[in-house]
Chains A and B, each alone.
Chain A
Amino acid sequence: GEDVEQSLFLSVREGDSSVINCTYTDSSSTYLYWYKQEPGAGLQLLTYIFSNMDMKQDQRLTVLLNKKDKHLSLRIADTQTGDSAIYFCAETLSGYSTLTFGKGTMLLVSP
């Protein structure tokens, strides 16, 4: 069955790098996503990666995928206080719009 796991909390200082980790169990997952949720808001799509890729970089964000270990990570460079939010990892199969989400990692950035 499908299951996505994330650590619940991460605290960093402004200017440091943040790394949020995620593991998934469905080896047939095709797309893996990172969403950000700020208080009182919906989910903002940050980035996504296809399962045939190892890495994707988008400005301050770097996604690494280890398909053998079913491990996905999101690195945020030069973390800012505005990055404080809950980050969700999610997986889906090709051709489907059904996402399986992790419980979310709360990132707290202190000045």
Chain B
Amino acid sequence: KAGVTQTPRYLIKTRGQQVTLSCSPISGHRSVSWYQQTPGQGLQFLFEYFSETQRNKGNFPGRFSGRQFSNSRSEMNVSTLELGDSALYLCASSLEDSPLHFGNGTRLTVT
């Protein structure tokens, strides 16, 4: 069974630009969550989607948004990028009320 797939693996953007990251969950998993990992703040929850609906949201500004498609694939978007948005963005998928399985992440560098 294929794991969680995130694309692209690496991304370099300039301040002020926007970026879209993609996540394909494990087959059959309908819940997709996104986390940001930085050296200073550690792992922080961004949002969770289930059946195309945002079910929970972390404490991030409105520049961070996401969506989920009918096939459970998910995207997250960050607009007006800031230097502090440089991080590893991790996507995780799960069955209902089951452990999260993470992808290898997208490393975003904002210059």
Interface on A for B, CB 8 Å cutoff? 31, 33, 35, 40-45, 48, 88, 90, 94-104
Contact = CB atoms under 8 A, between A and B. Distances in A.
B43 A97 contact: no
A20 to B, nearest CB: 16
Contacts of A98: 33, 45, 48, 56, 58
Contacts, number: 53
Contacts of B92: 43, 97
Interface size class of B (residues with CB under 8 A): 20 to 34
Contact of B43 (A31, A40, A101): A101
Contact of A33 (B6, B31, B55, B99): B99
Given A99-B45, A100-B45, 14 more contacts: A33-B99, A33-B100, A41-B105, A42-B4, A42-B90, A42-B103, A45-B99, A45-B101, A95-B97, A97-B56, A98-B48, A98-B58, A99-B35, A101-B42
Nearest to B96: A95
A109 B58 CA distance: 35
B102 A97 contact: no
B100 A94 contact: no
Contact of A96 (B43, B56, B58): B56
A34 to B, nearest CB: 10
Nearest to A101: B43
Contacts of A102: 42
A102 B43 CA distance: 8
Nearest to A100: B45
Nearest to A30: B97
Contacts of B99: 31, 33, 45, 48
Given A42-B90, A43-B90, A88-B43, A99 B104 contact: no
